[in-house]
Amino acid sequence: MRFVRAIWKVLVGVKDALVLIVMLMFFGGLYAALSSRPAPISDGVLVLDLKGTITEQPSQAAFTDVLSGAGGIREYRLRDLIAALDNARTDDRVKSVALDLDAFAGGGQTAIGDLGEAVRRVRTSGKPVLAYATAYTDDSYQLASNASEIWLNPMGAVAIAGPGGKNLYYKGLMDKLGITANVYRVGTYKAAVEPFTRSDMSPEAKANAQALAGALLETWREHVAAARPKAAVVDYMRDPVAALDGSGGDLGNAAVAARLVDKLGERTAFEARLATLGGKDDEQKGGYRSIGLTNYLGDVLDNDPDGPIGIVTVAGEIVDGKASAGNAGGETIARLIEKGLRDDGMKALVVRVDSPGGSAIASERIRQAILGARAKKIPVVISMGNVAASGGYWVATAGDKIYAEPSTITGSIGVFGILPSFQGSLAKLGIGADGVKTTPLSGEPDLLAGPSPEAGRMIQAGVESIYRQFLTIVAQSRRKTPAEIDAIAQGRVWDGGTARQLGLVDGFGGLDEAIAAAAGLAKLGDERGVRYLDRSPTFAEEFMAMFSGDDAEAAPTDAFAALAPAPEALLDVALADVRRILAGPSIQVRCLDCPVELRTSNATGAKGWKATLLGWLG
Catalytic site positions: 190, 390
Q: What is the CA radius of gyration of the chain?
A: 26
Secondary structure E strands in 422-477 = none
- Spatial distance between the Cα atoms of 44 and 285, rounded to a whole number of angstroms: 13
DSSP 181: E
Question: What's the order of all strands across the beta sheet hosting 44-49?
Answer: 263-264, 149-158, 129-136, 94-100, 44-49, 290-292
Q: CB of 452 within 8 A of CB of 440?
A: yes
- Spatial distance between the Cα atoms of 176 and 339, rounded to a whole number of angstroms: 53
- Spatial distance between the Cα atoms of 32 and 247, rounded to a whole number of angstroms: 53
- Spatial distance between the Cα atoms of 76 and 154, rounded to a whole number of angstroms: 29
3-state secondary structure 295-359: HHHHHHCCCCCCCCEEEEEEECCEECCCCCCCCEEHHHHHHHHHHHHCCCCCCEEEEEEEECCEE
User: Comparing C-alpha atoms, which of 59, 79, 62 is closest to residue 70?
Assistant: 62
Whether cis (ω within 30° of 0) applies to the bond prior to 305 is no
Q: Please, what sign has the CA dihedral across residues 325, 326, 330, 334?
A: positive
User: Comparing C-alpha atoms, which of 204, 253, 220 is closest to residue 111?
Assistant: 220
DSSP 616: B
Helix (H, G, I), strand (E, B) or coil at 612: helix
Q: CB of 171 within 8 A of CB of 197?
A: yes
